[in-house]
Chains A and B, each alone.
Chain A
Amino acid sequence: MIAAAATSIKAPYIDWAAFSPIVALICGAVIVLLIGLLPGRRVREQIVPGATVLTLLATLGLTIWQWGENTSIISGALAVDRLSLVLNVVFVATGLVTVVMSLRERATVQAGQGEYYTLLLASLAGMAVLVAAQNLVTLFVGIELLSIPLYVLCASELQREKSLEAGLKYLVIGSVGSATLLFGLSFIYGATGSTDFSGIAAALSSKGETIASNPLMLTGLGMAVVGLGFKAAIAPFHQWTPDVYEGAPSPITSFMSVATKAAAFGIFLRFMDVAVIDEALTWQPLLAALAAITIVVGNVGALAQTSVKRILAWSSVAQGGYLLVGIVVSSAAGLEATLYYLVVYVVMNLAAFSVVVARERETTHGDSLSAFAGLGSKRPILAVPMTIAMLSLAGIPATAGFIGKLNLIGASVDGDYAWLGVLIAIGSAISLAYYLRIVAVMWMPDRRGDSPETDRPHGQPEIIGLAIICSAATIFFGIIPSPIYDLVRGAGESIGLL
């Protein structure tokens, strides 16, 4: 009976080569989980992270192998193109950084090495699926595969109340977001009769009606945007961000702030610029308003914070607002500007988080601003990378962040949304107030000699190395930006944008 059913259902053809990066991540996750079950502390502490790194490197290799492909696989469920490949590289790089950051982390011991790294890999697999999705079902599978491991990872520091609280909060709010998204997607399916992005676009244009005249589609699109807004921490759906970022173990916070954001914006770009691109004129003003609110709320919210992780959380909300500008203009230039900014955002934010992780372990002040007091004279090796990261996040010239903003402003003027460009400028100016507060605490302490006396500068060369590499890259790409241009060029074309 089952055999008969199996023969009657025609399984889709799978291009395993193009699918291989995702397969590698999932297989790696299983293997890492199994290795984690082996007895022996040394095995767990060294072989498990090692296997994770190997998995990531294999994924990177397979991604590079597929470079230049532009196909859709598994009956059009996933797209292998410049957009998804570039973001794959971003995910793998972030994953590698997170593994290094986690090496001495308490959470890995408390949650179990195997489980921790497996969840990390599973989440990365979800991201890879998500940004390649060109079908509503794959989209939802990807977003859940991304989110569920993250809920657990946030709570992985089992003996710290705040970590558990962060995990629970993220779970509840994330589920609301997912439910809204799913509801919205079903409406879209109901309105168009298709789950394919291209099918949705075709249905919309063939019926000759606009989104605005179709209440079902309008509701669906609205709810989908809200659901994605939760994942991408776009105001006013960002409220979970500061609490979750503060409570989660710092390597996980760092991972969420860059990789989750990149994944959410990746699918945002693909969905808006493929499925509903013909209706751009309808949703552009709405999204522009969201971008404006996000920039203002994120930057203003950061002003009064005293915890560096909370500042970075609000800052990531604001940066999300800048990224949204590239989606609003819905042009190839906009998409490439967003992708460009995502890449540099990842680099500069990782530099900042490396220093936060390092300082958390060196002092008893946690991630409070006071942990950074006088760092400029005590530990310039950490203060300089942090300073560069802050200046770059604020968009000061000669850093990668400046070139990123340059692109976004250019795209906004080009797409007749010059006022959003002005808003990016004003937002950046406000952001200086909190970025410079961190810089000032490090280099301009109020009283001489007033610094955390409880320093335990124990050896963690790998974190310091990360901070230096990321900040050096921030400067390098600020002066010689062409490698990133080469990376993202053609991403807009690959999904059919002009």
Chain B
Amino acid sequence: MSLSIIIWLPAVAGALSLLAPRAVAGRLAVVGALATLVLAVILLVGFDNSAPGLQNVTDQNWISALGIHYKLGIDGLNVWLLTTTAMLFFAAILFASFREWERPNLFFFFFAVAESAVLGAFCAQDLILFVVFFDLMLIPFYFITGMWGGEGRVQATTKMVIYTLIGSLLMLVAAVATGVIAAEGGQPLTFAISGLQQAGLSTGTQEWIFLGFAAAFLVKMPLFPLHGWMPDAYRTMPLPALAVFSGILSKVAAYGFLRIVIPLFPDGAAHFQELLLLIALASIIYGSVMAFTQTNLRLIFGFSSVAQLGFIVLGIFALSPRGAEGALLQMVNHAVITVPVFLIIALLAARSRGSEDIREMGGLAFRAPLLAALFLIVSLATLAMPGSSNFIGEFYILLGVFESKTVIAIIAFSGVAMAAVYALRAYISTMHNRVGAQATPREIGLQDALVLVPLVLVILALAIYPQAPLKAAQGPAARSVAKARLALDPLDQRASTQKISQVTP
């Protein structure tokens, strides 16, 4: 099946809903997202875990003068993320379609285009094509936040775009430089990721190119200290959009490290390993601490995201197969958890006269047991309860880090403990305690339950069988970090554990 169909289907549906009458605009977008989900699931079922290399490849000349290809493909790194994206966008669009929006045609158009851009970024196998999709996925969110956001939306959305695009444009320069410098030996100019893997860039070149990509990805996630745009944007973005923004767009950045940065610039990755590990560690601690000092639900989970992405980057930059597998599993887990969290926040806000402050909520559990149960499951998954898939993911990640950087792993453990504090705090203060001053306890409606119950079932399914995404990730994750591992210690890989732990102060 052609990946192009999956990628562009939502955008086509979005364009149709732009032209359709107001009343059916949302429904058209839902149909488009549903069809995409069905195709994505078919793709996942037909995926061959054992085959090495890319599957379902589309490869066409796009800009022949620059050797840029329209090349798409899937392998173990992105097949699960692709399906997860299709599922979560469908959920968010469906959830949004149950609500009233000013100028719905435009709203659903942007939402659908965003889905296409994200799917494209996950499938892209050409450096420039990836950059194009990566930048493109920001534009719909610029408009969604600016046009349908809350207070201070214009400022927040402008700040978000500028922050993100500084990173992205540096990435563009880095991407162009990769191709141009690799072609200096007289080879034809190419930007295909597979083709560039053979090009041995010098260590110095790799280092500055690495920083260009890292800037883009770290801002997008965001990690401490590049998260300046996050609180404002999170505060104003409409919740269905925020759900996918927080849940999925951050994963594109993390995925970019595994797909592009580490395989293409192994020396750079090895050189900056400790810097990235420290940034990840700082994000875990900063994000967790901030999360349990905030009272706005959006920000609690926004900062929780910072901490969770810290874990993911920790796993990636352990530069070991275990760590990378754990990171990939955790990407899927975090996406699957974040989307229901923000949708539940929307429901909670609707039950407390629009307030998203936990001090004004409380006591919903008694009257709304289903909603409370859903939120409980999601919260327990967030804090990586043993038995949840997040537990497995974080376990793998920490295992990977332990192999090489014991001290960092030990400090990172504290993040796991802190997650329990903020996740439970959010749950207790909204569901238990006295009924809040503004709160009107009401059970979840049928429509919204239709969206949330399946999502929570997916969380449970992952908890029971986390091996499914892990299996797909195993081979490709190991291949992705193999070169960087070699760059870290060219002599003996097995001895690397000891040697590096001695060097580490």
Q: How many residues of B contact A (CB 8 A)?
A: 33
A422→B63 contact, CB < 8 A:
no
A414→B166 contact, CB < 8 A:
no
Chain B, residue nearest A395 (CB): B169
In the assembled complex, the Cα of A398 lies from the Cα of B138 at a distance in Å of 13
In the assembled complex, the Cα of A396 lies from the Cα of B140 at a distance in Å of 12
Partner of B180, one of A403, A410, A422, A433: A410
B172→A432 contact, CB < 8 A:
no
B143→A443 contact, CB < 8 A:
yes
Partner of A485, one of B65, B153, B179: B65
Interface residue A426 (Cβ < 8 Å from any Cβ of B): yes
A406→B66 contact, CB < 8 A:
yes
B147→A444 contact, CB < 8 A:
yes
B165→A429 contact, CB < 8 A:
yes
- A-chain residues with CB within 8 Å of residue B63 when the two chains form the complex: 403, 481-482, 485
Given contacts A397-B135, A398-B132, A410-B66, contact A421 B166 (CB under 8 A): no
Q: How many residues of A contact B (CB 8 A)?
A: 36
A396→B135 contact, CB < 8 A:
yes
Question: Taking the nearest CB of chain B, how far is it from the CB of A414, in angstroms?
Answer: 5
B161→A422 contact, CB < 8 A:
no
- A-chain residues with CB within 8 Å of residue B177 when the two chains form the complex: 409, 413, 418, 421
In the assembled complex, the Cα of A429 lies from the Cα of B179 at a distance in Å of 22
A436→B158 contact, CB < 8 A:
yes
- A-chain residues with CB within 8 Å of residue B157 when the two chains form the complex: 440, 444
Partner of B173, one of A376, A407, A418: A418
Question: Taking the nearest CB of chain A, how far is it from the CB of B109, in angstroms?
Answer: 12
Q: Which residues in chain A, 466-497, are within 8 Å of chain B measured between CB atoms?
A: 481-482, 485, 489
Given contacts A413-B180, A443-B146, contact A432 B154 (CB under 8 A): no
Interface residue A154 (Cβ < 8 Å from any Cβ of B): no
Interface residue A346 (Cβ < 8 Å from any Cβ of B): no
- A-chain residues with CB within 8 Å of residue B128 when the two chains form the complex: 406
- A-chain residues with CB within 8 Å of residue B142 when the two chains form the complex: 436
B170→A436 contact, CB < 8 A:
no
In the assembled complex, the Cα of A391 lies from the Cα of B138 at a distance in Å of 12
Interface string of A427-446 (1 = CB under 8 A from B): 01100110011001001101
Interface residue B279 (Cβ < 8 Å from any Cβ of A): no
B66→A429 contact, CB < 8 A:
no
In the assembled complex, the Cα of A436 lies from the Cα of B164 at a distance in Å of 14
Question: Taking the nearest CB of chain B, how far is it from the CB of A351, in angstroms?
Answer: 17
Interface residue A71 (Cβ < 8 Å from any Cβ of B): no
Given contacts A432-B161, A436-B161, contact A406 B176 (CB under 8 A): yes
A482→B65 contact, CB < 8 A:
yes
- B-chain residues with CB within 8 Å of residue A421 when the two chains form the complex: 173, 176-177
Given contacts A397-B135, A421-B176, A425-B170, contact A413 B181 (CB under 8 A): yes
In the assembled complex, the Cα of A425 lies from the Cα of B131 at a distance in Å of 13
A425→B132 contact, CB < 8 A:
no
A413→B176 contact, CB < 8 A:
yes
Question: Taking the nearest CB of chain B, how far is it from the CB of A426, in angstroms?
Answer: 7
In the assembled complex, the Cα of A421 lies from the Cα of B133 at a distance in Å of 20
Interface residue B42 (Cβ < 8 Å from any Cβ of A): no
Q: Which of B66, B136, B179, B180 has the most CB of A within 10 A?
A: B180
Q: What's the dominant secondary structure at chain A's contact region?
A: helix
Interface residue B370 (Cβ < 8 Å from any Cβ of A): no
- A-chain residues with CB within 8 Å of residue B161 when the two chains form the complex: 432, 436
Q: Which residues in chain B, 166-210, are within 8 Å of chain A measured between CB atoms?
A: 166, 169-170, 172-173, 176-177, 179-181
- A-chain residues with CB within 8 Å of residue B143 when the two chains form the complex: 443
Interface residue A377 (Cβ < 8 Å from any Cβ of B): yes
Question: Taking the nearest CB of chain A, how far is it from the CB of B218, in angstroms?
Answer: 15
Q: Which residues in chain A, 401-421, are within 8 Å of chain B measured between CB atoms?
A: 402-403, 405-407, 409-410, 413-414, 418, 421
Interface residue B139 (Cβ < 8 Å from any Cβ of A): yes
B146→A428 contact, CB < 8 A:
no
- A-chain residues with CB within 8 Å of residue B133 when the two chains form the complex: 397
Question: Taking the nearest CB of chain B, how far is it from the CB of A296, in angstroms?
Answer: 15
B172→A443 contact, CB < 8 A:
no
Question: Taking the nearest CB of chain B, how far is it from the CB of A174, in angstroms?
Answer: 34
Interface residue B103 (Cβ < 8 Å from any Cβ of A): yes
- A-chain residues with CB within 8 Å of residue B146 when the two chains form the complex: 440, 443-444
Interface residue B162 (Cβ < 8 Å from any Cβ of A): yes
Question: Taking the nearest CB of chain A, how far is it from the CB of B317, in angstroms?
Answer: 24
In the assembled complex, the Cα of A180 lies from the Cα of B162 at a distance in Å of 40
A409→B176 contact, CB < 8 A:
yes
In the assembled complex, the Cα of A410 lies from the Cα of B68 at a distance in Å of 12
B162→A432 contact, CB < 8 A:
yes
Q: Which residues in chain A, 292-310, are within 8 Å of chain B measured between CB atoms?
A: none
Chain A, residue nearest B133 (CB): A397
Question: Taking the nearest CB of chain A, how far is it from the CB of B138, in angstroms?
Answer: 9
Given contacts A410-B66, A440-B146, contact A426 B166 (CB under 8 A): yes
Partner of B136, one of A376, A398, A409: A398
Question: Taking the nearest CB of chain B, how far is it from the CB of A466, in angstroms?
Answer: 23
In the assembled complex, the Cα of A403 lies from the Cα of B143 at a distance in Å of 23
Given contacts A413-B180, A482-B65, contact A425 B169 (CB under 8 A): yes
Given contacts A391-B139, A414-B180, contact A407 B66 (CB under 8 A): yes
Q: Which residues in chain B, 102-149, are within 8 Å of chain A measured between CB atoms?
A: 103, 128, 131-133, 135-136, 139, 142-143, 146-147
In the assembled complex, the Cα of A422 lies from the Cα of B174 at a distance in Å of 9
Chain A, residue nearest B139 (CB): A396
A433→B162 contact, CB < 8 A:
yes
- B-chain residues with CB within 8 Å of residue A440 when the two chains form the complex: 146, 154, 157-158
In the assembled complex, the Cα of A77 lies from the Cα of B170 at a distance in Å of 43
Interface residue B447 (Cβ < 8 Å from any Cβ of A): no
- B-chain residues with CB within 8 Å of residue A402 when the two chains form the complex: 132, 135
In the assembled complex, the Cα of A409 lies from the Cα of B103 at a distance in Å of 39
Q: Which residues in chain B, 63-105, are within 8 Å of chain A measured between CB atoms?
A: 63-66, 103
A429→B162 contact, CB < 8 A:
yes
Chain A, residue nearest B138 (CB): A396
Chain B, residue nearest A489 (CB): B65
- B-chain residues with CB within 8 Å of residue A418 when the two chains form the complex: 173, 177
- B-chain residues with CB within 8 Å of residue A482 when the two chains form the complex: 63-65
B154→A397 contact, CB < 8 A:
no
A422→B65 contact, CB < 8 A:
no
A444→B132 contact, CB < 8 A:
no
In the assembled complex, the Cα of A79 lies from the Cα of B162 at a distance in Å of 44
- B-chain residues with CB within 8 Å of residue A377 when the two chains form the complex: 103
Q: Which of A413, A433, A437, A482 has the most CB of B within 10 A?
A: A413
Chain B, residue nearest A485 (CB): B65
Chain A, residue nearest B208 (CB): A418
In the assembled complex, the Cα of A410 lies from the Cα of B176 at a distance in Å of 6
- B-chain residues with CB within 8 Å of residue A429 when the two chains form the complex: 162, 165-166, 169
Partner of A444, one of B136, B154, B173: B154
Partner of A422, one of B103, B132, B173: B173
Question: Taking the nearest CB of chain B, how far is it from the CB of A377, in angstroms?
Answer: 7
In the assembled complex, the Cα of A391 lies from the Cα of B170 at a distance in Å of 17
Question: Taking the nearest CB of chain B, how far is it from the CB of A302, in angstroms?
Answer: 14
B136→A433 contact, CB < 8 A:
no
Interface string of A80-96 (1 = CB under 8 A from B): 00000000000000000
Please list the residues of chain B having a beta carbon within 8 angstroms of any beta carbon in chain A: 63-66, 103, 128, 131-133, 135-136, 139, 142-143, 146-147, 153-154, 157-158, 161-162, 165-166, 169-170, 172-173, 176-177, 179-181
* Known contacts A418-B173, A482-B64, then 20 further A-B pairs from the complex at CB < 8 Å, ordered by chain A residue: A377-B103, A396-B136, A397-B136, A398-B136, A402-B132, A406-B66, A407-B66, A413-B173, A413-B180, A413-B181, A418-B177, A425-B166, A429-B165, A436-B142, A436-B161, A437-B158, A440-B146, A443-B146, A444-B154, A485-B65
8 pairs, A vs B, C-beta closer than 8 Å: A376-B147, A397-B132, A409-B176, A418-B173, A426-B166, A429-B162, A432-B161, A444-B146
5 smallest CB-CB distances across A and B, nearest first, come from: A425-B169, A397-B132, A429-B166, A444-B146, A485-B65
Please list the residues of chain A having a beta carbon within 8 angstroms of any beta carbon in chain B: 376-377, 391, 395-398, 402-403, 405-407, 409-410, 413-414, 418, 421-422, 424-426, 428-429, 432-433, 436-437, 440, 443-444, 446, 481-482, 485, 489
